[in-house]
Amino acid sequence: MQAFLKSGKLDESLNKGPNSSRALKKPKIVPWVEKYRPRTVSDVVEQNEAVSVLEQCITGADLPNLLFYGPPGTGKTSTILAAARQLFGDIYKERILELNASDERGIQIIRDKVKTFAQLTASGTRPDGKPCPPFKIVILDEADSMTHAAQAALRRTMEKETRSTRFCLICNYVSRIIEPLTSRCTKFRFKPLNESMIYERLSYICKEEGVECDNTTLNALVETSGGDMRRAITCLQSCAKLKGQNEPINIDSVLEVTGVVPERWLEEFFESV
Domain containing residue 229: CATH number: 1.10.8.60
- 177 with 53, same domain: the answer is yes
pLDDT tens figures, 219-262: 999 988 888 999 999 999 999 998 887 788 888 888 888 887 66
- 118 with 220, same domain: the answer is no
Q: How far apart are CA 145 and CA 176, in angstroms?
A: 8
Q: Which among 156, 189, 222 is the end of a domain?
A: 189
pLDDT tens figures, 192-220: 899 999 999 999 999 999 999 999 899 99
| Structural domain includes residue 24 | no
The amino acid present at 105, given as its one-letter code, is R
Taking residue 108's Cβ as centre, other Cβ atoms within 10 Å add up to: 11
- Spatial neighbors of 105 by CB under 8 A, at least 6 apart, are 142, 145, 146, 147, 150
| Structural domain includes residue 266 | no
> Mean pLDDT in each 10-residue stretch from start to end of the chain (273 residues)?
44 48 59 91 88 89 91 92 91 89 68 85 84 91 88 90 92 93 93 92 93 91 90 93 84 84 59 56
Q: Which among 152, 167, 189 is the end of a domain?
A: 189
CATH code of residue 62 = 3.40.50.300
Q: How far apart are CA 18 and CA 26, in angstroms?
A: 12
pTM: 0.80
- 47 with 177, same domain: the answer is yes
- 139 with 38, same domain: the answer is yes
Q: How far apart are CA 252 and CA 84, in angstroms?
A: 40
Pairing of strands 165-171, 186-189: unpaired
| Structural domain includes residue 140 | yes
- Spatial neighbors of 97 by CB under 8 A, at least 6 apart, are 113, 114, 117, 136, 137, 138, 139
Q: How far apart are CA 154 and CA 222, in angstroms?
A: 38
Q: Which among 189, 222, 246 is the end of a domain?
A: 189
- 135 with 240, same domain: the answer is no
| Structural domain includes residue 66 | yes
- 93 with 117, same domain: the answer is yes
Q: How far apart are CA 75 and CA 68, in angstroms?
A: 9
- 110 with 221, same domain: the answer is no
- 122 with 215, same domain: the answer is no
- 125 with 95, same domain: the answer is yes
- 148 with 226, same domain: the answer is no
| Structural domain includes residue 8 | no
Give, for 204, the enclosing helix (H) or strand (E): helix 195-209
- 205 with 73, same domain: the answer is no
- 185 with 203, same domain: the answer is no
Sign of CA dihedral 10, 13, 17, 20: positive
Could you tell me the CA-to-CA distances from 239 to 83, 169, 193, 258, 273 in Å, in that order?
31, 33, 21, 9, 31
| Structural domain includes residue 69 | yes
| Structural domain includes residue 27 | no
| Structural domain includes residue 106 | yes
Domain housing 61: 32-189
Number of structural domains (the chain) is 2
